[in-house]
Structure 1
Amino acid sequence: MTKIGMAMSPHAEECLIQFHKENKKVFAWNMTDLHGNSLDINTHRLNVNTDAKLVKQKKKIFGAKRSQTIKEEVEKLLKAKYIRPVQYLEWLANVVLVSKPNGK
C-alpha cells in the first residue's frame, strides 16, 4: 500500500502520483486483481523445517459481530479466488482480527 501524506515533499508526491498513473496496469486496485498472483512454492526457495511438530490451536469462539466480519472477509477472498477451502486435520490457526486505521 502506498500512502501520500503531509510529510512528503510536493515534488516527491507528484513523482509518485505520476509513476502510479503511468504504471496503473501493474498494481492491484482490489482483491480480484490479485487472482493468480500467489506465491508459487515450486519456483521459490523456502526455508521450511519439515521435522517441526504441527501445532493445533484451541478453537477460539468469536462474538456475533466479529464472526460476521470474518465471514464477510473470507467470502470476499474466496470470490476473488485468492484463497481456497482446504482440510487440515493436524493443523489449525485461529483468525486474527486487526482494526484498520479508520476503525473498521
Structure 2
Amino acid sequence: MLVKSKVQEDHLANLGETFNQLCRSRLKVNPEKCSFRFVLGKFLGYMISARGIEPNPDKIEALLGMKPPNH
C-alpha cells in the first residue's frame, strides 16, 4: 500500500484516514514491514520519487540491452 500526498502538510491527515479505513475494515499492517517518509524507494518493481513513479532501472536493464529484431 502506498499513501502519497500532494503537499506534506496533508500527509499526516491522509495517513490517519488510511489507518482509520484499515481499522474499520478490520485489517492490520505489520509495523516491521512499513516504511514512512521516504523520498526515494522501490515499490512493486517501480521507483517512487518526488518526480513520480518510474520503472525500476534494474527491471528494465535487460530490455535496454536487447538488439532490435532482424527480419
Greater share of helix residues, 1 or 2?
2
TM-score after normalising by structure 1 = 0.23
Taking CA–CA contacts closer than 8 Å with sequence separation of 6 or more, which of the two structures ends up with the larger relative contact order? 1
Compare CA radii of gyration and give the structure with the larger one.
Answer: 1
Greater share of strand residues, 1 or 2?
2
TM-score after normalising by structure 2 = 0.30
